[in-house]
Amino acid sequence: MEERFIVTVSGDEAVISAKGAFKTKDAEEFGLRLMPVVINNKRVVIDMTETEYICSGVLREMLAAQAKVDDSDDKELIITNVNDEIMEVFEMTGFINILTVE
Partner 1 sequence: MEIFKFEADFNSWDTISEQINIELKEQGVSVSNIRKIMMALEEHISNIIKYNEASVNVELTMDILKDAAKFIIEDNGKKFNPEEVIDASTDEEVVRKRVGGMGITMVRRLMDETDYTYEEKNIFKMTKYLGEE
89 binding partner 1? (CB under 8 A) = yes
**Closer Cβ to partner 1, 7 or 63, answer by number:** 63
43 binding partner 1? (CB under 8 A) = no
Closest Cα partner for 98 from 77, 73, 81? 77
15 binding partner 1? (CB under 8 A) = no
The count of other CB atoms within 10 Å of the CB of residue 7 is: 16
100 binding partner 1? (CB under 8 A) = no
For residue 42, give the 3-state DSSP assignment: coil
Burial 47-79 (b: 16+ CB within 10 A, else e): bbeebeebbebbbebbeebbeebeeeeebebbb
Q: Are 6 and 17 in contact (CB under 8 A)?
A: yes
Query: Which of 9, 21, 32, 39 is the binder for partner 1 (CB under 8 A)?
Result: 21
Choose the stretch contacting partner 1; rule: CB under 8 A; options: 3-11, 29-37, 38-46, 47-55.
Answer: 47-55
Contact residues for partner 1, defined by CB under 8 A: 21, 23-25, 52-57, 59-60, 63, 67, 83-86, 88-89, 92-95, 97-98
